Chain A
Amino acid sequence: MLRRISGGDRDAFRQLYLRYHRRLARFLSRVTRGREDAEEIVNDTLWIVWQRAGEFRNASRVSTWIMGIAYRRALKLIRRAATHSRVMSLEGAELEAVAVDALEAADTRQMLERALKRLPLEQRLVLEFTYYLDHSCEEIAEIMECPVNTVKTRMFHARRKLRAVLGEGASPKAGG
C-alpha cells in the first residue's frame, strides 16, 4: 500500500487513512490533551506518510513506522504545550500528590488514569505502546528511537511507580 501511495495513489492513501485513523486517534487522545490534539497529530502523521511513503524501506512493520512518526509529532506537541505549562511535564510530578489524590478517586480506574498522567511521559508512553497498542519491546525501541534496554528500564520504573500508587489501596481490577 505504501508503494501505491508513494506513486500518488489517492485511493490507497484514503484506505490507509481510514485504517489507521481510529487506532492513532484513540491512542493519541490518551497521551495528549485530548481529541483536538489527537486529530491534529493524526492528520500531520498521515500527511507525512503521504509525502514520505517512498522512504519506507521494509526494515520494520508499516504500523511501527507510522507509529514512530506519530510519536515524534506527539512529542513535539506535548513538549511545546509543556513549555507553556498547560499539559503534562516531561519530568513527571511528585507521586505523593497522586497518592493523596488517589484517596479521593472514585474507583481504581480513575486512580489509574490519574497515576498514569503523573508518570514521566516517556514511561507512560512505553506502558501505552505495550498495553494499549501491543507493540513488542523491540518495536517500541524503534518507535522511540532508543535502545531496547532503555525501553525495559522505562517500563520497570513505570510499573514500580504505578504499584506505589495503586498498591496502597487497590491493584487494578479488570472489571473496574
Chain B
Amino acid sequence: MSIDLEGTSCDAEAARLLPWFVNGTLVPADAERVSRHLEHCAVCRADLDHERALRTILRNDGPIEYAPQAGLALSMARIDEMTRDLPVADAPPPPRVSRWRRPSATQWLSAAVVVQAIGIGVLGWSVAGRPGEDRAAPRYQTLSSATPVATGVHLRAVFAPAMKVDELRQLLGARRLYIVAGPTDAGVFTLGALDPVTDATRVQALLTDLRGHPEVLFAEPAAVDGTSIR
C-alpha cells in the first residue's frame, strides 16, 4: 500500500488525535469524537491503517534482551557506598553498628572498649619493641577482623555467579588485587590494590583489564583513600 501525498491532509482536530486513538489512551469523549470523524473522513481512515502499522513496527523491536543484573549490582553498590558515607544516625545501620548502638548493649560496649584499649596497647608495645622489623600494616586478615581500610584505589566488582574460587583467586592475584569487603547482597565486592594505585590512567587501565575478563560482570572505581573518584 502506498499513500498518495495529494489530498492526505486533514485539518480536523480529530485527525491530530489519531495516534492516541490508535494506542487507546484517549479519554472516552475524545475517542468518541475521533470515531465519529472517521465515519466520514476517508483520509483519516487511510491514516488510521498507516498509524496502526507504524505502531506495530515500532513495538516489534527485535530479540535484543537486556540483563538488569549488572546495572542493579552497580546501583546497589552505590547505595552501599552512600549508606557507608552517611552519618550513622541517618544511615540505615549495618548490623554491627546497630548492635553496638542498642541501649541494652551499653555495658558490653564499655567493657569492650576497655578490652580493646588494653589489646591495642599490648599490640603497640609489641610492634614498637621490635626494632628493624617491617612496621607496615599487616596484609592478612582473620575471619574476625574488621574491614580494613585499604590505601590507594578501591574498586567495586561483580563476578559471574558460576566463577570458581580458584579462578577468582587467580584473577585477583594476577592483578595484585585483594578483597576488602563483600560480597554485598547484590554480589558486589570491594577490591583493594596491594600496590596502591591512585594514578587515574593506571586505574583506568586496571578497570579496562577487569572489564575485559569474561567472568567480570562489572567493575567500577569506588574511592581513592576514602574519596570517591567517580
Contact = CB atoms under 8 A, between A and B. Distances in A.
A13 B16 contact: no
A132 to B, nearest CB: 5
B47 to A, nearest CB: 8
Contacts of B78: 47
A14 B72 contact: yes
Contacts of B204: none
Contact of A172 (B19, B57, B70, B79): B57
Contacts of B65: 22
B53 interface: yes
B25 A134 contact: yes
Contact of A112 (B22, B51, B57): B57
Interface string A125-159: 00110111011110100000000000010011001
Contacts of B185: 10
Contact of B58 (A13, A14, A132, A135): A132
A176 to B, nearest CB: 7
B74 interface: yes
B100 interface: no
Pick from B23, B52, B92 the residue with the most CB of A within 10 Å: B23
A109 B22 CA distance: 19
Interface stretch (A52-60, A72-80, A87-95, A162-170): A162-170
Given A43-B71, A132-B59, A159-B51, A22 B66 contact: yes
Q: Is the interface of A mostly helix, strand, loop or mixed?
A: helix
Contact of B59 (A131, A164, A167): A131
Contacts of B25: 134-137, 139
B61 interface: yes
Contacts of B74: 43
Contacts of B68: 17-18, 21-22, 25
A130 B1 contact: no
Interface string B43-68: 00001011111111111010011101
Contacts of B50: 163, 171-172
A35 B19 contact: no
A30 B57 CA distance: 13
Contact of B64 (A26, A127, A170): A26
A39 interface: yes
B17 interface: yes
A29 interface: yes
Chain A to chain B: the 10 pairs with minimum beta-carbon distance, closest first: A136-B25, A174-B56, A21-B68, A167-B3, A25-B66, A131-B55, A172-B53, A131-B58, A8-B92, A174-B53
